Structure 1
Amino acid sequence: MKHTPLVLAAVLSIHGANEARWVQSIFESLGSAPGTHRVRGSAFPSITQTGEDKASPFDGLRWSSGLPEVDVEGTWYRPVSIDGVSVASILEFCEKRWPGKREKRFGEDLVEAMALMGHGTGRSVSLDLVRLADGVKIELAAVAMTKAKRQAIWASNQTHRSSGRVSPAAPSAVPVELARRDLERFGAGLRDRFAYVSLKGIDLEAELESLSETLRAEVDVASLANALNRLLMRFGDGHARVEAPRPRDPGRHLPFLLDTAQGGIVAFDPDRTRFVDRSRPYVQAIDGDPVAHWIGAMSEQVVAGSPQLVQHRALRALREIERAREAKGYDASDVIELTLSSKPKGGRKKTITLDLQPRRPTYGTWPRTETRLVTAQEAGGAKGGIGVIRLAEMDDELIPEVRRAMQRFRGTAGLILDVRGNGGGQRGLCAALAGYLVDEVTGPVVGNVAAYRLAPAFREDHLGGSRLLYRADDPHWSGAQSRAIADFAATFEPEWKLPDGFSEWHYLVLDRTGHPDEFHYDRPVIVLTDEASFSATDIFAAALGELSGVTLLGTATGGGSARVQTFDLPETGIRVRCASMASFQPNGQLYDGHGVAVDVEVERAPADLLLGGGDAQMQAAIRLISESGGSPK
């Protein structure tokens, strides 16, 4: 276990009284308040929506970083609840009921969604809102539900594409003059809001000019989007991407999945019941070409991030094998030739031929561990056993469940926080858990530092809210928190000196939360991470990893932290996503390009990728706590 002079903690320091009440609800009542529903499973009742039921309370609807913003009588708001039902739970329901169509269903089928959740709506509803202009919380009663409002949203959706959906009006090709206009808008948008536009010294103007010169009289939109995406990937932003309104058909796919294990690449069936070849799990070559060459070819399609993130995303991109063959200049084929081996290098080899398949195989959530108590017998006699809390996503609605788990594991010899495969989300879980781990004597500590581009469209509190990042002079810091910021700032050395055009530094200060169920957990804590731990999970690992008594075990996280912004190119319908903030670990490294290093590296074994095959990283964590004897920090 490592020991540091600073003990990391978790606090919510809130900007504004109204927002304070909102964030407090994350810790105290989210998920348990009346009208809040978490939908689990995939079986839902069927309700037919008639023309009379197609209504909405909103005069307009738009999306910002995946969250809805609504127009009510000419003013734009962030919706919090509808008739007491949280908007977060409605969105979650829509995604589970209609995968990939969450935005469409929320906008066009709100009545049906709420009815399926058990909440019928009348001719009017009450709305809890936060006004975007000043952050003031507003309650509106008896807002009319009308078909005309819903029809206006539907009509808007026909010409404006939401994520995961193609607008019928989106062009497949445009004249070169229109394409060049969008190239100019692309450059202007990045210069305006992209945090990493100057990070790697790429001459954006020269790159766009070169691309413009290659365009012909008629420009294929999907090809242009791919070219812009390849350019954007070079800047190193793990959250960035460029999407065409009508993506190309990816063609046929690999009939298996690929992942890393103990120094090699392993091939296994999508249902995770077996390897492609039982005695030869490792892939040596595809179509006679070494697998490393394929990863290199696909690396041009993914972000130039940390080595582990590049490999992770390249392996997933290889599922679209026909695109990969095209990138390498190979001929199309209905089959794939796979050379397998018993060892990562050398070993007994075998070459087999498999048919490609029309559907893309999916990885799903992995590993499939659960929150549970590892008994004393399983834990090598560790008194009280070991608590395991599984966090497959950073969802603040899980905070009540985590608090119940902490109460259950209060007397254990140690705690394992499993965030492997967790692609991120919100930061409240980090704050809530750290509140149990901080020593009150040590006091608050800075866990993340960031600054954002000073774009005209960004409000002064651009990094506030759920990101919990505020300036050093924010009036809501306590004296101890302000001193922690000052001490940190005096020695903080970022690896990248920010150019002009950025805000002041913003800080995530972590402290005890003051929740009535909170107690000081003084036993060893291990955080399990891997290359698929990303975004808010990067923050989670780096922040908690600063605590004395906390060990990071597994493999380094992917590396990425962003306040994502999107903008559309109107002539082509192309959508652009990019980071608006530069985000640093406490050690001064950017998250992007590095990831969070672990204290104890343990690679997964090939069998760990299969159902019932084992879990070398979990077993290593259990042994480490057992060997410590559960000694207090």
Structure 2
Amino acid sequence: MKRLLCTILILLSAHAAAAAQTPAKKPDAAAELRRKTFEKVWETVRDKFYDPNFNGVDWGEVRERYAPQVAAVKTDAELYDLLRKMLSELKVSHMGVITPDALRQMTAPPVTTGLGLRNVEGRVVVVRVLPGSPAEREGLRPGFVVEKVGGAAVKDLDDALGKLHGPANTKVVVTILNERDEAKDVALERVALGRGEVERTNFGGMSLYALFESRRLEGGVGYIRFTSFIPALNRKIHEAVASMLDAPGLVIDLRGNGGGDDSVAVDLAGLLFDRPVQLMVTRARKGEDFYYKARPSKRPYLGPVVVLVDGASGSASEQLTAGLQEAGRAYVVGHTTAGDDMDAELEGLPTGAYLIYAAGLPHTPKGLVVEGHGVKPDLEVNLTRAGLLRGQDAQLDAALRYIRTKTSKGND
């Protein structure tokens, strides 16, 4: 995934430079660019998709069905929807079309209302409120249910997150159910997080961001949480682990962490071993194997480690979790992870968009494939709305109980 992040930023820079000198497309020229874009997508998958058998799909037959539909599309947006539908037939993650605007949003400072949402007991529930955020100022807290956003009922978690998204310095009305199940409309401002609130990696004039926190919990247990694997976090992670070498246990909270740079995950793993460890192996199109080996730290943390995960933990989060679990180095608590674990690459397209495609299939040294399956926790723990309203985090509580058990046995 590291190569993907770098490629994203390089292509963004190139697109920005070219945009100023690219004339508006005439109708015939636009149609031809769309046709060429379709061909580029189909041929790239044919030649570079990680599986030469295309996951059991007849890729030639797919072209025959979709190619005639390209002439009927009237806009680039319609073409991208058609291409995404075609790519979805391969039934793996990390396949899609990304517009230049979407990429720029990915690399802009995060915009948030401060609400962290998850599916809890079949409802969209607040599980975390960012300190100092508009949501905190309005009195929202974990356990509140999100019923509507912008006056429209939310269908599911993705729908709620999509409706909350918007430009900085705008407001959105959220209808919540409070602890008494009373419906209340709250106007939340969308704010861009600034320096000191997020960690940033610069590359090619663009930026990648992540939230990071580390602290001691009850009994001196160490706690580290971050929202994405970006190189800017390496120093902070090293410093946090180094400051916790005397801790009776360490909790690494990857809930909601969608992944990022695999090398950051491998580097973190090295802080937890006193010997080299093979974390993951990736099989590419031509049968080459790429190895992700964690090199031991000079001063590793060797106490009990618990990794917290949920259905929003993906990609690099899953590789780290699966590798530590299989090596017997971490106890995993929470829910089965996203199952979105492919090594991906980007390909520029004639319309200025980008194809993201699965170029390699990772697996653990013992052959466990996370893609499509996820990492199953050693202990599955459900969050409950009642517990959240009481200020409890059942998954974190379970992690602390496990650490207490391990340390008490060690002292017997």
TM-score > 0.5, shorter chain as reference: yes
Please give the per-residue CA displacement for 1:447-489, whole angstroms capped at 9, x wherever unaligned: 2122112xxxxxxxxxxxxxxxxxxxxxxxxxxxxxxxxxxxx
Equivalent residues in 2 for 1:200-599 (5 A)?
A: 200-216=55-71, 219-245=74-100, 259-263=117-121, 264-266=123-125, 271-273=134-136, 281-283=144-146, 294-295=155-156, 313=158, 315-319=160-164, 370-374=213-217, 378-379=218-219, 385-438=220-273, 445-453=277-285, 502-510=286-294, 513=296, 515=297, 517-519=298-300, 521-548=301-328, 550-570=330-350, 572-586=351-365, 588-599=367-378
Please give the per-residue CA displacement for 1:122-151, whole angstroms capped at 9, x wherever unaligned: xxxxxxxxxxxxxxxxxxxxxxxxxxxxxx
One-letter identity of the residue aligned with 1:272: A
Secondary structure of 1:411's aligned partner: coil
One-letter identity of the residue aligned with 1:260: R
Instruction: Give structure 2 stretches of 5+ with no counterpart.
Output: 103-111, 167-171, 199-208
One-letter identity of the residue aligned with 2:161: R
Please give the per-residue CA displacement for 1:150-182, whole angstroms capped at 9, x wherever unaligned: xxx8xx8543x6xxxx98546496554543333
| Structure 1 pair 541–204 and aligned structure 2 pair: CA distance change class (3 A) | same
* Counterpart Cα distance in 1 of 2:213 and 2:174: 37
Secondary structure of 2:135's aligned partner: coil
Who is 2:205 aligned against?
Answer: none
Instruction: Give structure 1 stretches of 5+ with no counterpart.
Output: 1-62, 69-99, 108-152, 248-253, 296-310, 322-334, 380-384, 454-501
Shift of 1:220: 1.0
* Counterpart Cα distance in 1 of 2:119 and 2:289: 39
| Structure 1 pair 224–172 and aligned structure 2 pair: CA distance change class (3 A) | farther
Please give the per-residue CA displacement for 1:324-375, whole angstroms capped at 9, x wherever unaligned: xxxxxxxxxxx9996x6679xxx9685x778999x7999x97997722233x
Are the aligned partners of 1:187 and 1:205 in contact in 2 as well (CA < 8 Å)? no
Shift of 1:525: 1.1
One-letter identity of the residue aligned with 2:378: D
Give identity over the alignment, percent.
27
* Counterpart Cα distance in 2 of 1:551 and 1:182: 46
One-letter identity of the residue aligned with 1:370: E
| Structure 1 pair 274–195 and aligned structure 2 pair: CA distance change class (3 A) | farther
Shift of 1:390: 3.2
Alignment coverage as a number of residue pairs: 380
Who is 1:618 aligned against?
Answer: 396
Shift of 1:241: 2.4
Secondary structure of 1:560's aligned partner: coil
Secondary structure of 2:261's aligned partner: coil
One-letter identity of the residue aligned with 2:216: L
Shift of 1:632: 4.6
* Counterpart Cα distance in 2 of 1:170 and 1:605: 53
| Structure 1 pair 266–244 and aligned structure 2 pair: CA distance change class (3 A) | same
Secondary structure of 1:552's aligned partner: strand
Secondary structure of 1:449's aligned partner: strand
Are the aligned partners of 1:175 and 1:218 in contact in 2 as well (CA < 8 Å)? no
Please give the per-residue CA displacement for 1:216-236, whole angstroms capped at 9, x wherever unaligned: 567311111122123323434
Q: Which has the larger radius of gyration?
A: 1
| Structure 1 pair 168–337 and aligned structure 2 pair: CA distance change class (3 A) | same
Mean CA deviation greater in 167-176 or 217-226: 167-176
Secondary structure of 1:561's aligned partner: coil
- Aligned-residue RMSD, C-alpha: 4.8
Are the aligned partners of 1:157 and 1:167 in contact in 2 as well (CA < 8 Å)? no
| Structure 1 pair 574–413 and aligned structure 2 pair: CA distance change class (3 A) | closer
One-letter identity of the residue aligned with 1:373: R
* Counterpart Cα distance in 1 of 2:263 and 2:375: 19
